[in-house]
Chain A
Amino acid sequence: MELLIFYPLAGFCVVLALGVVLNNSPVGSAISLIGMMLGLAGIFVLQQAHFLAILQIIIYAGAIMVLFMFVIMLLNLKEGDDTGWIARERNLLLSVLTGLLAVGILYKISGILFTAEMDTPAILPDSFGTVATIGETLFTDFVLPFEVASILLLAAMVGAVVLAKTKLD
């Protein structure tokens, strides 16, 4: 049953990941990336990591992707500005680094496939990774960092206002 959901989701992620790389327009790449993040969030839900899934959507698909879009808009890249993957392939350093990475990943995967030796999964309590557990830890074990983070955010907000305000009285 789990696999029935996993394979379509994983396939969806892989297709969109390829879309990020192969897309000629940077905006298209970014949108594919958002889709891939959503797919990953789905896989996290399958793995019982509900909280991580939510964070994945809020932080990556939401905040960070908005930042990406801003940067793309600011740079104002047009099609033909060396954004296609063929143009990138001519960059030797990039190709070599990516090649090395790919070989490393394939090596690791083949090691697992041929020896059929998976890491033994740790046994987790049922509630692991659910929103309730994380909330409880946050408000007991980590209540001090949680509150202090609000001071950090307040200071950052005040600072941003000070620097961005058009006129200081």
Chain B
Amino acid sequence: MEPILAPESIDLIALAPVIVLSVFAMMVLVLDLWGGRNKTLLVFISLVGLLMTAISAFAKHPLPAYSFNDSYIVDHLSLFFICIFTLSSALTILLSVEYNEREDIRAGEYYALILFCTVGMILLASSTDMIMIFLGIEIVSICLYVLTGIRRNDHRSNEAALKYFLLGAFATGFLLYGMTLVYGSTGSTNLFKIAEFIQNPSAQSNPLLLMGLVLLIIGLGFKVASAPFHMWAPDVYQGAPTPVTAFMAVGPKAAAFAAFFRVFAEAFPEMSPSWETLLSIIAVLSMFVGNLGAIMQTNIKRMLAFSSISHAGYILIAIIAKSSLGSSALLFYMLSYTFMTFGAFGIVIILGRKGEENLEIENYSGLAYKHPIIALSMTIFLLSLGGLPPFAGFVAKFYIFSAAIQEGLLTLVIIAVLNSAISFYYYLKVVVFMYMKESEAEFKISLTPMTLFVILIGVIGTINLGIFPNTIIALASH
């Protein structure tokens, strides 16, 4: 029998980042047997592994390269995403070291799970086949369920993990059902073949295909925490260990958006009228639910969770714009969001105390008098999240909005700008607490070096991307 797959299609160089990172993840698992309570070696190896992954991603020339029967692609989009993923995982690990010490998280598997999760994210951003996208999403989700519940003696962590697991499994069911229907009506799981198939207008009106698309949107919409599939986000963000929350808000979310972009902009551009409306509704809902929900929160992690829902709404606009401008806006937004979010969560960790205490917004009152630099950094992150110039958040939003206006999505942009204005209310609330209230209690903050380093990276990234965005934009708009 003739082999179906030509040997040259198996391209290990294109797959290098996945292989390198998987090897490192397994190495961390094995080395955990020796280190005892000291996890420094594991942290070091994980960071080296992430660096090697980022480097090995650039081994493939020329771009774009297709391999494994067109189910795996290396292009500028995936390269940029791999950089964001490795950066966010590295920042997560840096944030975790001292936090895990404080919260008594002794499992060395913690680092291995973060690396495995990153493998899944890389696969998500590089896959052009629905089977691979499904496997990527599952790797990411399963690692996140465990990481959420890793503070096993804390009932909030347990509750969050269980909730996330049950709802996530349900959402996976929707996603898989959607993929099955799309496969059934187009005859292929490959995104390029699907795109080819639906060139034919009669194929587009197949109700099974439309149903499949709707289910795909539900499944992916859950993974990016967009309204109305956001119910899990506040509880899970609050219950998970803070570094994992930061990770969840950036890496896996970016990966799910990458999959969103691949599926809708690459496989179904012909059918854009039918999914654009649906995604627009989800984007508008996410912005309103996120921003209005955040106003009511008193816990800073919950507030950031709602704010991340609203950011999912803004990012969806970039996907609806689907032009090359939209994709570069998506990339730039994800990168700036990485810096702002990790910075903000770094400060949440610094102010937190053992047992995830001291996370109310009230606890921030008077911070500016005792620790002016920390308060200033927090102000920068919050204003950047709100989208104020000269910070990265402003440029990121600006690019998304201009991409959307070019596609004629004026109403969406107006709603988004309105929402940005609403968001300042709760971002500034924290700033007001820090600068204008008297502190009630003594601050016992843990100025640990690695966490401070992450905050420093966050500040530099946020300001740098805000003032000199051109280099990154040029990279993103290939």
Segment of B76-84, B105-113, B386-394, B454-462 in the binding face: B105-113
Q: Mark B106-148, 1 if CB is under 8 A from A, else 0.
A: 1101101100110110010000010110011011001101100
Q: Is B152 an interface residue (CB 8 A)?
A: yes
B residues 5-53 near A (Cβ < 8 Å) are 5, 10, 15, 18, 22, 26, 29, 36-37
- Which residues of A sit under 8 angstroms from B10, Cβ to Cβ? 143
Give Cα A145–Cα B136 distance, bound, in whole angstroms.
9
B37 to chain A, nearest CB (A): 6
Question: Cβ of B119 and Cβ of A151 under 8 Å apart?
Answer: yes
Q: Which of A152, A158, A159, A163 contacts B135 (CB 8 A)?
A: A152
Measured between beta carbons, the chain A residues less than 8 angstroms from B4 are 136-137, 140-141
Q: Are A158 and B5 in contact (CB under 8 A)?
A: no
On whether the beta carbons of A162 and B150 are closer than 8 Å, the reply is: yes
Contacts of B71 in A (CB 8 A): 144-145
Flag whether A155 is at the interface (Cβ < 8 A). Answer: yes
Inter-chain contact A161/B109, CB cutoff 8 Å: yes
- Within 8 Å of chain B (Cβ to Cβ): is A168? yes
Residue of A nearest to B116 (CB): A155
Contact B3 A149 (CB under 8 A): no
Is A168 in contact with B139, judged by CB distance below 8 angstroms?
Answer: no
Interface of A is mostly: helix
Say yes or no: A155-B139 contact (C-beta < 8 A), given A141-B69, A162-B107, A169-B37. Answer: yes
Residue A14 interfacial (CB < 8 Å): no
* A67 close to chain B: CB less than 8 A: no
Q: Would you give the 0/1 interface string for B136-167, flagging 1 where the beta carbon is closer than 8 Å to chain A?
A: 10110011011001101000000001000000
Contact across chains for A162 and B113 when beta carbons are under 8 A apart = yes
A159 to B117, CA, bound (A): 11
Q: Is the CB of B139 within 8 A of A158?
A: no
Contact with B along A115-154 (1 / 0, CB 8 A): 0000000000000000000001100111111001101101
Query: Are B142 and A159 in contact (CB-based, < 8 A)?
Result: yes
Residue on A nearest B146 in the bound complex, by CB:
A159
Q: Which residues from chain A contact B119 at a C-beta distance below 8 Å?
A: 151
- Is the pair A163, B131 in contact by a Cβ cutoff of 8 Å? no
Closest to A155 in B: B116
Which residues from chain B contact A145 at a C-beta distance below 8 Å? Answer: 71, 129, 131-132, 135
Give the residue name and chain of the B residue nearest to A145 (CB).
B131
Q: What is the CB-to-nearest-CB distance from B115 to chain A, in angstroms, rounded to a whole number? A: 9
Residue among B26, B71, B132, B146 facing the most chain A CB atoms (10 A cut-off) = B146
Alpha-carbon distance between A154 and B23 when the two chains are bound, in angstroms: 12
Q: Which residue of A lies closest to B110 (CB)?
A: A162
A window 90-113: CB within 8 A of B? none
Instruction: Report the interface size class on chain A.
Output: 20 to 34
**Cβ-defined partner of A168 (8 Å) among B106, B145, B146:** B106
Q: Are A159 and B145 in contact (CB-based, < 8 A)? A: yes
Inside 8 A of B109's CB, which chain A residues have their CB?
158-159, 161-162
Instruction: Confirm or deny: A58 has a beta carbon within 8 angstroms of a beta carbon on chain B.
Output: no
Given A140-B5, A169-B36, CB of A158 within 8 Å of CB of B68 = no
Smallest beta-carbon distance A26→chain B, Å: 23
Q: Is A156 an interface residue (CB 8 A)?
A: yes
A137 to B135, CA, bound (A): 18
Q: How far is the CA of A151 from the CA of B112 in the complex (A)?
A: 12
- Interface residue B72 (Cβ < 8 Å from any Cβ of A): yes
CA gap between A154 and B26 in the complex, in Å: 9
**B37 surroundings in chain A (CB, below 8 A):** 169
Instruction: Tell me if B1 is interfacial: C-beta within 8 Å of chain A.
Output: yes
Does B116 contact A149, Cβ atoms closer than 8 Å? no
Chain A residues within 8 Å of B107, by CB: 162, 168
CA distance A168 to B109 in the complex (A): 10
The CA-CA distance from A160 to B107 in the complex, in Å, is: 13
In the bound assembly, the distance between CA atoms of A169 and B108 in angstroms comes to 9
Asked whether, in the complex, the Cβ of B131 is within 8 Å of the Cβ of A151, the reply is no
Nearest CB of chain B from residue A46's CB, rounded to whole Å: 24
Residues of A with C-beta under 8 A to B29: 158
Q: How far is the CA of A30 from the CA of B132 in the complex (A)?
A: 34
Name the residue of chain B whose CB is nearest to the CB of A158. B109
Note all chain A residues with C-beta closer than 8 A to B106. 168-169
Given A152-B139, A158-B109, A168-B105, list of 19 further CB < 8 A pairs? A136-B1, A140-B4, A141-B5, A142-B131, A143-B68, A144-B15, A145-B129, A145-B131, A145-B135, A151-B116, A151-B119, A151-B120, A155-B113, A155-B116, A158-B29, A158-B146, A160-B146, A162-B107, A169-B37
Among all A-B residue pairs, the 3 with the closest Cβ atoms? A159-B146, A140-B5, A155-B116
Ordered by A's residue number, 22 sampled pairs between the chains whose C-beta atoms are within 8 Å are A141-B5, A141-B69, A144-B15, A145-B129, A145-B132, A148-B18, A148-B139, A151-B119, A151-B139, A152-B120, A155-B116, A158-B112, A158-B113, A158-B146, A159-B143, A160-B146, A161-B109, A162-B107, A163-B149, A163-B161, A168-B106, A169-B37
